[in-house]
Each structure stands twice: as structure tokens, then as C-alpha cells.
Structure 1
Amino acid sequence: MADFTRPFTAALGAFDLLSLQGIGRLALVLTGLTLAHYLLVAVYNLYFHPLRHIPGPPLWIAFSQLRSIYKMRGILEFKYAEFHEKYGEVVRVNADEVAFIRPEAWKDIYGHGHAEFPKHFPGLKLDHKKIVFSHSKDHFRYRRAMLPAFSDKALRLQEPLIRVYIDLLIQRLREQSETGKPVNMVRWYNFTTFDLIADLAYGTPLQGLAQGKGNAWLDNISNIIKLLPIMAFASVFPLAGTALQYLAGPQIRNAEKKHYAFASKMTMDRIYNKKQPDRGDFMDFMLRSRGQPHEMKDDELASNADLIMLAGSETTATLLSGATYWLLKTPHALKQVTEEVRSAFKSDDEITFDDTRAKLPYMSACLNEALRIFPPLPLGMLRIVPAGPPVQIAGVTIPGKTQVSVPQFAAFHSEYNYHRPNEYIPERWLPEAATDPKSPFFNDRRDIHRPFSVGRRDCIGQNLAMHEMRSILARVLWNFDLKLDESCNNWHDQKILALWVKPPLQVHIKPRAA
């Protein structure tokens, strides 16, 4: 029988493998081999890798695990911003990843005109029935079935359903104002958007506004945010990460099963509830695909309704929270947008989708600036360059199998793209800023601003999101005078774990003076 200790004894001399001395020597050898492996990989990444011509932080390039560690800490996007400031518009942020903050990178990575770059979601378990994770063929089918629900014509039909919840938000804020205590606007915006989307997707509200308390979806988002550091940790240290996932496994699996069962039941109740025919909501439009080549089956409807709940509510509530905060931190902007809203409408009953878009140019500028300085999805949406010949992205040659992205936070906060990028200045979005060479914002590269992405996989609900944001913010400003509580002066100083980890946004609210 072969002696498997021979290679070790040859190198270290004879020893008893089962003794403490033998175990110690073996551990020393294995540690040395591991360190040698990491050193060789680091040398390759720095000096021999096909991406070696692209500048970036040497330690991050040498040791890919650093990216996940900073992601786990919730400060990855801020590090990307630092790297672009130091190394330029195109930065190698990892051994196999390149980040771009040039406007043309949007089309080259996410746009039409080339083979689709596959999405990359490291560390996540994907449900391919959801449109954002779906394969190309299914994505086309899902999008064709879902898109009619988000057209201007469809949204006008849905506006009365949406208005019910905006009315209820105003009622609840009026009640809260009578207490004399500051109001957590994050909480009330979340209640509003989740109730609203639940009604459009399932034909039933979640009673957040009515009862002033959370619901299954809000709890699920909280659980997801708590799990993200574990997922990031697992991608860096697989053994320890697997142990953590094992320990938390039953709780995670039970939560997932409970949530999916809840979402599926709501979907089935909506589909087969004969009391709500031709309601004109999301599900009604998607059900019209039945019998067509692009029809969606029950399980696909359930998965995508669940996705719409998260994507269509959390992001809108985040933007409204950010816009409210930055307006309250910028007195001249708050004064101007409030005067614009109140002069445009004699009563808040007049505030409609079409009129907020047509009559409130300064408020549109305020929302665009909020989308820039506090993007609801501040990440770079990773794509992988297909295997094969190198491609050109923003004028740079990139080999196949490279991870690429436009990190939104870094791109939107860069002096390469914006004058005074870290300040909230709605005036940069007014028409004269782009036409008057004397404007300090004339040279802003506005085409970098793509908060809803571009191309075949851009946000299908962006039209609805903008209608919601304009209508909700206009109604709040028309009805109330707002003042930021001093405890929230640095509210924007938050971590990013895929989503912003938002603390309460405490605001003093008073009904507007007659």
C-alpha cells in the first residue's frame, strides 16, 4: 500500500503524522501552500492578466476577496466612487471586473446593437421565472405580456385606483400632524407604495395605511437586507459562509416558503376571483396574454407579481424619502417647488398624472436631481462580456468573460460628469442649463443619468414610478409645510446593502397656512 506521507517526509524529514508535532508540521505546510497559491494568483492578476492595462487599486486586483468584504460592510459603492476619482473613468475594481462611468458605456453594456451581455448575480439564488432573472427567450415573452400594463393609456385607467391611496396618505399625515410629533416619512411612503402596488397587482391593499403597521412584504425586505451580509461573507469565505447559512437555514427556508405561499395565494385569489373582472390593474392586463404565444402561466404570474411588489414599491418609496430629505436640506429649492405646486393647482383634487407632468417643470427637476444624488438602486448592475473576441466598451478593449458595469452612485457623483456633483441642485435639470453656455451646468454629461437603465432590460415600470413620484410629492407639498427634524441632519449618511439601509426620516408636518 502506498505511503501518502512520503512527499511530506521528503520535504520535512521523518515524523509521526498523528503526533502533535506531525499535525503542526502538516498545518504549516498547508498554510505555506495556501499563501503561495494566493501570492501566485496575485502576481498573475497584477502582471499577466488580460486586464492588466486597465488602472485600478492594486490590492483589490491582487486579492478579489476585498470587494466582497467591502460589500458586506455596506460601503462598496462609496469605494467605487473613490476609485474613479483616483484612477479615472474606467477602473479595474477587481481581478475580473471593470467599472465605467462614461455615458457611452450604458449602450455598450446594456443597450441594443450587440449580443446581450448576461446578467451576473454572485451569491444569489435566482428564480428564473422573475423577469429580471429570466433567460432571453422568456424575458421577451414576459415583457410582451407585462408592458401593456405600464403604458400611458393603462396608467390613466389605473389612476383612480392609485389616487385612493394617495388620498389616504394625506389623511394619515394630517392626523399625524395633530400630534405635534415629528413623522417618519420613510414609514408612511413605504405604506403608501406597498398598499398601492398590492392593489394594482392583487386587487387588495395590505392595510399599511389603514392600520399604520407593517406587512409581509416589508418584513421580507427587512429579512433580505439582514441576509445580504451573510451572502457576501459566504462568497469570500465559503466554509464559514456555508456554516452560517446552515445555522440560519431553517429560518431562511421557512421564511421563503411562507412568503412564497402568501404571494401565490394572493395571485391565485386575484386570477380566479370572479368579483373583479376587467378591473384594469396589472393582473388584468397580464391575464390578457392568455391564449397568446406570450402568455404567462400561473406560477410565472405569481413570481412576477411578487417581483413587482418589491421593485415597484420599495424603490419609489426610497426616491420619495430621498427627495423629501434633500428638499428640506435645500431651502431655496423647497420654497420654489412648493410655490410652483401651490400656484399650479387651486385644490389638490386637480393634481393628476398628466397635469403634474405638464405643469411642474421645477418639481420634475427636483425629482431628477434626487434620482441622481440618491438613486434608489445605487449599484452597478453586473454583466458578463460573452466569451469570444474582445469587445469595445466606451473606447476600451475588454476581453470575454469580464464582469462590467456602470456603478450608478459613482457615475452620478463624479466630477467627470457633473459640476458640484455632491450638492443637490435641481437647476442643473432645467432646459436653460443645457442651452445656455454661461450656465455652470452647461457641460454636465446628462446622458450618464440612466437610473432606470437602458436597452432590452430597462425598468418596465419606470413610467408608473414617475407618475407616482410626481403625484405623491405634489400632494404632500400642496397640503403641508415641512421641516426636517435636527436628528436627521445627516440622514443621507447610510450604508448600501443592494438597497439603501434607510433610518427613520423624521419630519415636522403642519397643514399649510390658509
Structure 2
Amino acid sequence: MADFSGPIARTLGEINLTSWQGIGRLALGFTVLFFIRLCGVAVYNLYFHPLRHIPGPPLWIALNGLRSIYKMRGILEFKYIEFHEKYGEVVRVNADEVAFIRPEAWKDIYGHGHAEFPKHFPGLKLDTKKIVFSGSKDHFRYRRAMLPAFSDKALRLQEPLIRVYIDLLIKRLREKSELDEPVNMVRWYNFTTFDLIADLAYGTPLQGLAQGKSNAWLDNIANIIKLLPIMAFGSVFPLGGTAMQFLAGPQIRNAEKKHYTFASKMTMDRIYNKKQPDRGDFMDFMMRSRGQEHEMKDDELASNADLIMLAGSETTATLLSGVTYWLLKTPHALKKATEEVRATFKSDDEITFDDTRAKLTYMMACLQEALRIFPPLPLGMLRIVPEGPPVQIAGVTIPGKTQVSVPQLAAFHSERNYYRPSEFHPERWLAEATTDPKSPFFNDRREIHKPFSVGRRDCIGQNLAMHEMRSILAKVLWNFDLKLDESSKNWHHQKILALWVKPPLQVHIKQRAN
């Protein structure tokens, strides 16, 4: 076998680690080896990798770290839109990752009928007691214990609890309307949904609506969101990520620990508070699994109540903010939705879960369009194809160990799926758009629209979310005339750090004339 040590030794010379010159030569050697390896990996990824037949941005495919850099900057999902526009419906966005915006990919990746594709969360420390991170066996058990809390029957029982906070929101907005100054609707929607879910999960509100100010829960979540770019960086460069976490300061580094301690205390207070038996909230339903095969232990209740708090409040407040903004940017849609609500109900006391679902066709179309143009979870939920023979996803052969997803923002904003996708058109969701070939929206591929995902791991709280959004939006439109403040005219230009980084949504609100 040939000996290459001679040429390398002659190039570097004799290395003396006690001198700066020797250290420099050693560093040069490591740098040369690093770049040789980097070039070798890039050549393999581009020309010999099993995914080489799938088009995508060459530089991203060659150098894996680029994805995380754009994720840190909060613009990754917008790059995916560009890539799908340029390369098509199936794009290799990384050396080992493929993104799909074809409707059939939902079933092939997330649906039933095949072995479950494991979830993939690069850079995150996973609490496997949370249903979204749990393995298949625990996931089935958790879902069985939690589903009864989100049934139509359960939500009807919970409606009086929920209405308390929706009515309090309207009361606070009436007070704000008298001050003749714009109102930050993001803030008030957040107060409402967090108070509401806290009561359903823990039996106590967070007093956001009552006091009109933030609280420990919201502050901790804000700190955790600040950590998300660091986590993204750390998933590719572990040493760099650790250094950045250290530099971020103890307040941010300890945010997750403080948050979990706070959430656990609230759970234990709810479980062992004898003053609140059988109140029909989430915890009550989940605790009914005690003594059964699918029972949830105290720490599992704490983890999943914490998850419900974030997933059931932040995302709902995001969608309400989004639909409010897009309605105010689209005057004809605002006028039509408002007229529909006010013509349907003589007073806002008549606005109920069942009636908003059955009677407000156009307002529901507005919510559907908001879920499309401003999805609360705009990401692609990564799955990994199991080891073994290649599988077919949306008609494309994909080998094992490949990361796959349907990136929601890219799928919902593609001209391949929707007519004028960057514009707010509730009409695309009306029945006539699906039956009239003359409608400009007739050929929209609505089956790509799965904002709550599909399959065995779809969003367990989607029923509650839709009830909340319909009721809150209907009450706001029934009670107030709204106008967008000039400072928020480009509100939708936001970054995405797992969640939308929402600036204030300043709205002028005026009580409707009788």
C-alpha cells in the first residue's frame, strides 16, 4: 500500500508544539484536512447520494449547515417557498431531507396505512412524556386518556367556562374603545386564550384579562422562543450552540426549567385541590383514566397539561390575530363577514359553539383562508423514513433514513396548489368555488390544506381550537367596528422561529352603532 506520510510530512515540516510556528503548522494541517473532508462530503452529497435524483439547491445539498443558519434568521420557511417555486413540488432541501407540497404526501408521510414514520426534532431536548414527543405505545395511551376532553359532548360542558373569558375579552375591548387609541389585538387575544386554557387545564386563570398585563407563564414562553435560534444552531454545531447558550445569560438559559417548575406546581394544585371535583375541565377528563390501562401518572399529566397550554393558546391567538389582520386588509371580506354575524344574531348572548359552526358560512371561510395564508404552525413537521426498502411518497422513491415533510407555509402559498396564493380570498372555501368551473378557485387543490396535520398524530385539540376561534371572532365582529392602524399595515412581514414572531397588531376599535 502506498505511503502518503512522506509528502504530508515534507509539506508541513517538522512540527514543534512548543513554538508558535509549530502550532500554526498543526492548525494548517487540520484546516487542510477539514476542507478536504468538506469537499469529499459535498461531492458525495451532490453526485453519489441515494437522493441525487431529486432536484434542489446545490449549495444547501452540499453543505448541511446552511439550513440551520436560515432557521436562526427566521426565514427558513420563506426559502422553502422559493425552492418549491424553482425546483417543483418535490425538493431536496438538505443532504438528507426532502420537502413535498403535493397533496398525496400528507397520507404517505403522516397518515395511516403504513408503518409510522418517527418524528424528528433536531436540536431539541425532548420530554417524551408529552404526547407530541412520545413513542407509539405511550402515544396511544395518552391519546386514549386525553381524547374525551376534546369531544363535542365535553366541549358543550366546557362552553360556560370558555364563555366567561370570551365575554371578559369583549368587556375589556369595550373599555379600550372609549380611550380613542389603537389596541394591540395580539396582546388581548393572547390574554384570552392563555386565561381560558389555564382554567380548563389547571382550574385557575392567569389573570391576563383581569389585570391587563403579562404573567410568569407568558414571560417564560417569550424567553424560550428567544432560545429557539440557538437550539437550531446547536443542532448542527453543538460546541457553538453550547457557547451561545452560555452567552445568552442565566435568565434565558433557565427559562425552560422555571417554566416546567411553574407548570408542575399548577398541575399538582389542580389534581389535589378537593374544591374542584368534577368540574368538567381537561384535567377532570384526563384524571378519569386513573385505575385503567391507559391511566396517566402525575408527571405525565403535568407534561401534557403544559403542552396543552402552549399548543392550545399560542396557536389560537396567532390565528385570531392573523384573521383579524387579513380581514382589515380586505375590506369587502370584513364587510361581508360582519354583516353575516350581525344578521344572524340579535345579541351576542346568542353566539354559541353550535350556532357559529352551523350558521356563519362566510366567517368560517375567512377562518379557513386565514389558516391557509397565515398557518399558526407554518413549519414542515419532520419525519424519518424507517430503515429498510425505499418507500413511495407522492410518487417519488425515497430511501430509508431520509427526513421528509410537508412544509405548510410553502404548500399553502404555492401557485401549484392555489390561485393567487399570496392574497386573502375567503371565497375559495365557499361551496360554489368547488362546483362552478367558472370560479377562479375551482382548480385549487384544497386537499393540501391540513393545518392540523393528519393521521394518528394529528392535533388532538383542533375541535376546541375551531370552537374558540369561531366564537371569539363572531363576538368581536358583532360588537365592534374595526380599522387597521397605519403602523400595522405590513404586520404580516414576520420572522418564523418555530412560531411566528408577531409584532403588535394595532387596531382602532369602536363600539358598533345600535
Does the TM-score normalized on the shorter chain lie above 0.5? yes
Matched AA of 2:145? A
Give secondary structure in 2 for the equivalent of 1:154: helix
Does the 8 A contact of 2:345 with 2:351 survive in 1? yes
What is the alpha-carbon distance in structure 1 between the residues aligned to residue 459 and residue 154 of structure 2?
17
Q: Deviation of residue 11 (structure 1)?
A: 3.9
In structure 1, what is the equivalent of residue 468 of structure 2? 468
Does the 8 A contact of 2:352 with 2:471 survive in 1? yes
In structure 2, what is the equivalent of residue 213 of structure 1? 213
In the TM superposition, what are the counterparts of 1:176-255 in structure 2 within 5 Å? 176-248=176-248, 250-252=250-252, 254-255=254-255
Give secondary structure in 2 for the equivalent of 1:404: strand
Q: Deviation of residue 215 (structure 1)?
A: 1.6
In structure 2, what is the equivalent of residue 308 of structure 1? 308
In structure 2, what is the equivalent of residue 511 of structure 1? 511
Give secondary structure in 1 for the equivalent of 2:91: strand
In the TM superposition, what are the counterparts of 1:106-117 in structure 2 within 5 Å? 106-117=106-117
State whether structure 2 residue 297 is matched by structure 1 residue 291: no
Q: Deviation of residue 17 (structure 1)?
A: 3.4
What is the alpha-carbon distance in structure 2 between the residues aligned to residue 341 and residue 485 of structure 1?
23
Q: Deviation of residue 16 (structure 1)?
A: 3.0
TM-score, normalization by structure 2: 0.97
Matched AA of 1:127? D
What is the alpha-carbon distance in structure 1 between the residues aligned to residue 279 and residue 148 of structure 2?
14
Matched AA of 2:448? I
Answer with 121-130 or 263-272: which moved more.
263-272
In structure 1, what is the equivalent of residue 378 of structure 2? 378
Q: Deviation of residue 54 (structure 1)?
A: 0.1
What is the alpha-carbon distance in structure 2 between the residues aligned to residue 268 and residue 6 of structure 1?
69
In structure 1, what is the equivalent of residue 325 of structure 2? 325
Does the 8 A contact of 2:118 with 2:385 survive in 1? yes
What is the alpha-carbon distance in structure 2 between the residues aligned to residue 225 and residue 129 of structure 1?
21
Q: Deviation of residue 235 (structure 1)?
A: 2.5
Does the 8 A contact of 2:411 with 2:448 survive in 1? yes
Q: Deviation of residue 315 (structure 1)?
A: 0.2
Matched AA of 1:510? K
**RMSD value over aligned CA atoms?**
1.3
TM-score, normalization by structure 1: 0.97
Superposed CA deviations along residues 263-309 of structure 1, whole A, max 9, x for unmatched, are 11111111111111110110111111011100000010001001000
In structure 1, what is the equivalent of residue 148 of structure 2? 148
Unaligned runs of 5+ in 2: none
Q: Deviation of residue 231 (structure 1)?
A: 1.1
Give secondary structure in 1 for the equivalent of 2:254: helix
In structure 2, what is the equivalent of residue 74 of structure 1? 74
Q: Deviation of residue 493 (structure 1)?
A: 0.2
Does the 8 A contact of 2:224 with 2:252 survive in 1? no
In structure 1, what is the equivalent of residue 357 of structure 2? 357
In the TM superposition, what are the counterparts of 1:270-285 in structure 2 within 5 Å? 270-285=270-285
Answer with 257-266 or 49-58: which moved more.
257-266
Does the 8 A contact of 1:69 with 1:236 survive in 2? no
Unaligned runs of 5+ in 1: none
Does the 8 A contact of 1:71 with 1:232 survive in 2? yes
What is the alpha-carbon distance in structure 1 between the residues aligned to residue 21 and residue 262 of structure 2?
58
Answer with 224-233 or 68-77: which moved more.
224-233
What is the alpha-carbon distance in structure 1 between the residues aligned to residue 373 and residue 470 of structure 2?
17
Matched AA of 2:434? A
State whether structure 2 residue 461 is matched by structure 1 residue 458: no
What is the alpha-carbon distance in structure 2 between the residues aligned to residue 295 and residue 14 of structure 1?
68
Answer with 254-263 or 367-376: which moved more.
254-263
Superposed CA deviations along residues 126-146 of structure 1, whole A, max 9, x for unmatched, are 100000000100000000000
Superposed CA deviations along residues 227-256 of structure 1, whole A, max 9, x for unmatched, are 011112222333222212234474455333
Give secondary structure in 2 for the equivalent of 1:392: strand
What is the alpha-carbon distance in structure 2 between the residues aligned to residue 326 and residue 86 of structure 1?
27
In structure 1, what is the equivalent of residue 443 of structure 2? 443
Matched AA of 2:345? F
Aligned residues: 510
Does the 8 A contact of 1:217 with 1:310 survive in 2? no
In the TM superposition, what are the counterparts of 1:4-19 in structure 2 within 5 Å? 9-19=9-19
What is the alpha-carbon distance in structure 2 between the residues aligned to residue 180 and residue 226 of structure 1?
33
